[in-house]
Structure 1
Amino acid sequence: MRPARGILLIVLAVTVFSVMSAFVKAAGRVPAGEAVFFRSACALPIILIWLAMRGDLRHGLHTQNYRGHIYRSVAGTLAMGLGFAGLKFLPLPEVTALRFITPIMIVIFAAILLGERIRMVRLAAVLAGLVGVLIILWPRFDAGFAGAGQRELIGAGMVLASAGFAAFAQIAIKRMAGVEKTAAIVFFFSMTSMVLSLFSLPFGWVWPVGMEWFYLIGAGVVGGIGQILLTSSYRFSDAGTLAPFTYVSMIWSLLIGYFAFGEVPTWAMLAGAALIILSGVAIVLRERQLGIARTATRNVTKPR
């Protein structure tokens, strides 16, 4: 394990993902489904080249769990599409902050779907994260359910749904862990999301013009690079060590939102985001502590 290299890679990954989100937001006229297509199609050649360089192109794409890949890919595609749609209604930092609720939803869904127990520490973290979401959304409720306020609430609902589907995707990956190779998970997701995005074609794709081509192709290229960096980071460090560094994306979202789109963060958004981040870090640290305890128990009870 080389944790320093893993941390560097995860920081680079969330940085380029922030740039990807900015590109999608900049191509505001382009529908979310079309943006998903460009994100997946333009990332696929980069991923294939990366797999070939690793020697995983032939053996890494073999799978015996097509159903698991379908569940993960459908959930991941919906998460991506709804997240892209939310960018058209809300400021970039607010979208990023609301997406941070994904680890909290993973805890909730894991309890429902996998029967995992939620003890006091994680329960408190979940409740704190939900309070953070309410703090962020409270000004939207005050704005009312008409006009701009309605649009913003719709956007917030899309982003929260995106976080929910992302949690489902992570649980599906967790079920496939140790059975399916990472290369297969990455490839099948990119391929499936590209195909699924075509179903949105009848709902009004547009022909990109001018800089929109650059934004859409750029989103795919940097998205593919980010996926490779993210996957590679876990080769050098464990998920518990890397997870807190994913919140660096909040800093980039604030900077990009302010300088590129003139989005000034509100105190409610900053306070809610801080609470969600703290609750997410608490969940990650607790999961890591429980993992160490389970490993120690297995080592003690292991027959010699």
Structure 2
Amino acid sequence: MHAPRHSPLAAFLVGTLGIALFSIMDAVMKGLVLAIGTYATLLWRSFVGVGLAGTLYGTLRSPWPARATMRLHVGRGVLTTLMGLLFFWGLGRVPLAQAIALAFIAPLIALYLASIWLHEKVGPRTVGASLLAFAGVVVIFIGQAQADLGREALLGSLAVLASAVCYAVNIILMRRQSLAAGPVEIAFYQNLTVAAVLLAAFPLVGAAPPPAAQWPWITLAALLSTLSLLLLSWAYARAEASYLSATEYTSFLWAAMFGWTIFGETLSPFTLAGAVLIVIGCVLAARKPEEASPALEASV
């Protein structure tokens, strides 16, 4: 499948919007995890997601995906399930901004995975901008490491780091998947795979239906997740993973705002200084889109 040619900068902006919606979903999901638990939150959200994405997918009347494409759908769906369980379990135990900051290791790993697996050229400006943004993450982590958050927060941080490694691979799979299928197809099969994997674990874990008051939030989380997935799939079909990975850093600004306004998580001077470095890095990454023109002929 060949995506129409668009400016990589347009893909960068669409990807940034996708990350913004994903960040809002993170805040909603943190509230749900604290209220009904990690597994139940992901399980019921995935069911709603299947309904939303399935409705869109059904209107397209698309042919059955090729075997290679279906392998990508299933593989990324399984990886997304593991990634989500680790991340949202950790998110319930550490401040929102700290969790996002720890997850920033993923785009840096993805830069080099893209070079190895997708044979993408990693331009010096993209690498430099990502390193500058990562320096901001280090500043934030140094400041937050001074706070004694206890054993639960330490375990949560380790879970987020493990999730970040999964997410680095996910970024690469997102690029390959986006070249092989349309955004609606990707959203449907990812939600379906996640729901199937979580449902398989139901006899061992179990999850009671959530209270009626939580269903609007579960629906909102599923809607935000689906919209974000559609936008990111569109963007990753039109620009390289090594270039778009820098958009991930913008999520920290949203996390800091929602952590403070919703969960009462304060920001330190280290956090603010790191956020400035992140913004500068993202701006620099977007200034030279020609370094990351999409390789639309990449093999799948």
Q: Structure 1 length normalisation: TM-score?
A: 0.74
Does the alignment pair 1:226 with 2:228? Answer: yes
Deviation of residue 33 (structure 1)? 2.4
Task: Report the secondary structure of 2:36's partner residue.
Answer: coil
Which among 27, 39, 44 is matched to residue 38 of structure 1? 44
Whole-angstrom distance in 2 between the partners of 1:122 and 1:207: 46
Which among 26, 30, 33 is matched to residue 25 of structure 1? 30
Aligned pairs for 1:61-210 within 5 A: 61-65=64-68, 66-111=70-115, 113=117, 121=125, 124-125=128-129, 127-143=131-147, 148-201=149-202, 202-203=204-205, 205-210=207-212
Residue of structure 1 equivalent to 2:3: none
Whole-angstrom distance in 1 between the partners of 2:235 and 2:251: 16
Deviation of residue 186 (structure 1)? 2.3
* Higher-Rg member (1/2): 1
Task: Indicate if the aligned counterparts of 1:9 and 1:230 stay in contact, CA closer than 8 A.
Answer: yes
Whole-angstrom distance in 2 between the partners of 1:11 and 1:81: 24
Q: Structure 1, unaligned stretches of length 5 or more?
A: 299-304
Task: Indicate if the aligned counterparts of 2:100 and 2:251 stay in contact, CA closer than 8 A.
Answer: yes
Q: Which amino acid aligns with 1:62?
A: P
Listed one character per residue, the Cα deviations across residues 37-57 of structure 1 (whole Å, up to 9, x for unaligned) are 22221112211222344x2x3
Task: Indicate if the aligned counterparts of 1:140 and 1:149 stay in contact, CA closer than 8 A.
Answer: no
Deviation of residue 254 (structure 1)? 3.0
> Structure 1 residues 215, 150: CA separation in 2 closer, same or farther (over 3 Å shift)?
same
> Structure 1 residues 109, 261: CA separation in 2 closer, same or farther (over 3 Å shift)?
same
Task: Indicate if the aligned counterparts of 1:122 and 1:283 stay in contact, CA closer than 8 A.
Answer: yes
Q: Which amino acid aligns with 1:43?
A: G
Whole-angstrom distance in 2 between the partners of 1:258 and 1:7: 27
Q: Which amino acid aligns with 2:67?
A: Q
Does the alignment pair 1:212 with 2:214? Answer: yes
Residue of structure 1 equivalent to 2:53: 47
Aligned pairs for 1:229-244 within 5 A: 229-231=231-233
Task: Report the secondary structure of 2:179's partner residue.
Answer: coil
Q: Which amino acid aligns with 2:22?
A: F
> Structure 1 residues 157, 64: CA separation in 2 closer, same or farther (over 3 Å shift)?
same
Whole-angstrom distance in 2 between the partners of 1:267 and 1:200: 43
Whole-angstrom distance in 1 between the partners of 2:278 and 2:158: 17
> Structure 1 residues 9, 243: CA separation in 2 closer, same or farther (over 3 Å shift)?
same
Whole-angstrom distance in 2 between the partners of 1:157 and 1:284: 31
Whole-angstrom distance in 2 between the partners of 1:277 and 1:8: 14
> Structure 1 residues 71, 90: CA separation in 2 closer, same or farther (over 3 Å shift)?
same
Whole-angstrom distance in 2 between the partners of 1:244 and 1:122: 8
Does the alignment pair 1:265 with 2:267? Answer: yes
Listed one character per residue, the Cα deviations across residues 72-93 of structure 1 (whole Å, up to 9, x for unaligned) are 2222222222221222012223
Q: Structure 2, unaligned stretches of length 5 or more?
A: 1-5
Task: Indicate if the aligned counterparts of 2:259 and 2:265 stay in contact, CA closer than 8 A.
Answer: yes
Whole-angstrom distance in 2 between the partners of 1:137 and 1:248: 16
Q: What RMSD, in angstroms, separates the aligned Cα atoms of the two structures?
A: 3.8
Task: Indicate if the aligned counterparts of 2:28 and 2:217 stay in contact, CA closer than 8 A.
Answer: yes
Whole-angstrom distance in 1 between the partners of 2:42 and 2:264: 25
Q: Structure 2 length normalisation: TM-score?
A: 0.75
Whole-angstrom distance in 2 between the partners of 1:125 and 1:132: 11
